[in-house]
Amino acid sequence: MLSALPTSGSVDAPSVPPRSDCPDTNLRSSMSTVRHRFAVCSAILLLAVVLFPTSRTDPVKAGDPLNDAVAQQTQLALALAAQSAHLAALARQQAELSASLQQIGGDLSRVGLQIDGAVRQLDRLTAQLNTARADLRRYESQIASLATDLKRVAADIVVTRTQLTGREALLQEHLRAAYEQSQTSVLEVLLSSGSFGAATNQLGFMLTLSDEDRRLSDEIRQTRARLEVRQQTLRDGGAGLARLREGAKTRAAALKVEQLQVEAARRALAAKQAQLRDIQQAQAANLAAKTRTAEQRQRLIRAQLRALQGQQQLVEQLKAASRSLAADYTGRFEWPQDGSFVVTQEFGPTRVGVEPPANVGGTHYPHYHSGIDISNLGGCGAPIYAAADGTVLRDGRPNLAYGDTAVGVIIGDSQSLQTWYWHLAAEIVSVGQVVHAGDLIGYEGSSGMSTGCHLHFQLMANGVPVNPRAFLP
């Protein structure tokens, strides 16, 4: 009997075990690995070409942008150093001008001011102040130029950053395109290579940079270096410029103060000039009243010459009286007046027509004043003090024998030094009396050949008139 054939539902289909070495599965795994390694390789290559120079990098030549940036940095550093030196010079100028202004301020408040000298000194200070202003303007112009240079550097930085961004994007695009192009042949490389290692080497070769990419990577590296130099230039220049601007601000403020000091000194000097002018005008009016005619003028001149001869005789007579004094004077000197007074006539050549002539140092002067005239602003009667220690050698009217009716006192300060006080209203000392600097000896007047109340103060050294200012404080 024939056996019944088995039905399909009762027969087990033979099972086929899965193969782990299936060609499609292994291929997909290999391609995934290659892609991963390719991406890593691409990233490393991009970083390398930017950070490290290639073997074909050309040397930096003159005119290269990096060299230009370094040269710009050096030039700006030199300019900052020059302006710092200029600022130091302005500081020294300020110190000198400030010291001079303090000095003239003290001089204007000091007794016995030499007004003509103060006028010249103040004119010099005014000229120095104008020079200082011009120097400051030039300095401010130079730092403004530096500021313009720094703005140019800042603008260059913006341009350089834009260029850098563009070049980096371009290089990345080149590498991306190379990567995408390589994807089309990855399967072919894998199937045609004898081993996975050989396939990997061939894929790495496909990533080799072209000449254009090398040039682009070098440009990126140099652009970054140039950008760093310019950023450092901007930082250093900004800090230096801030210091220079602060220095200019300080100097400008000091100049304003110095200008106020000069203006104050001019006002004080103008007040003293007005006082002097009033006294000199009064004296000139008195002189004019005494010399209305030519004969009166000649008579006064002859009287002055005779008085001068009498003084010369007095000098000879006083030599014997001075032998008992110290050989040299070692004490101090003081002004013979205190309070408010002005020197109305200085020692030396003068324009006052009634002053006698003199031969000094081989030079003939038609009119020469042998002392200094001092007028108290309070008028006649101001106290007169001994200017130095000594012994009274003459009092009363010492030169009366020669027609000079002036009341005067002559004090011997040493064997070679004498102080003469003339045109007093009265004297209160006597011959032989010992006096000290600052002792009261008389009162200001207008006795003798005088044009108004004043003290004629004369200092004789070895019988020759010398400038009292050389001894007075």
Query: Which residue from 218, 224, 271, 274 is spatially nearest to 58, judged by alpha carbons?
Result: 218
The answer to whether residue 42 is domain-embedded is yes
Distance from C-alpha of 398 to C-alpha of 387, rounded to nearest angstrom: 19
Domain span including residue 437:
294-470
Same domain, 94 and 194: yes
Q: Are residues 258 and 298 in the same domain?
A: no
* Domain-embedded: residue 279: no
Sign of the C-alpha dihedral computed for residues 325, 372, 465 and 426 taken in this order: negative
* Spans of the chain below 70 pLDDT: 1-63, 111, 179, 181-194, 196, 199-210
3-state secondary structure of 423: strand
**382-428: pLDDT as tens digits:** 999 999 999 999 999 999 888 889 999 999 999 999 999 999 999 99
Q: What is the model's pLDDT at position 205?
A: 55
User: So what's the pLDDT on residue 237?
Assistant: 86
Q: What tens digit of pLDDT does each residue of 100-124 get?
A: 888 888 777 776 778 888 888 899 9
pLDDT for res 337: 94
**278 is a domain residue:** no
Are 432 and 327 part of one and the same domain?
yes
240, 271, 302 — which closes off a domain? Answer: 271
Residue type, 22: C
Q: Is residue 450 domain-shared with residue 394, that is, in the same domain?
A: yes
Together in a domain, 104 and 193: yes
Kindly state whether residue 361 falls inside one of the protein's structural domains: yes
Claim to verify: residue 187 and residue 316 sit in the same structural domain: no
Query: What pLDDT, on the 0 to 100 scale, is given for residue 7?
Result: 38
CATH number, residue 386 = 2.70.70.10
Task: Among 220, 237, 271, identify where a domain stops.
Answer: 271
In a domain, 12, yes or no: no
CA pseudo-torsion sign 133, 138, 142, 147: positive
Total number of domains constituting the chain: 2
Residues 72 and 122 in one domain: yes
Q: Which helix (H) or strand (E) holds 358?
A: strand 358-360
Residues 333, 409 within the same domain: yes
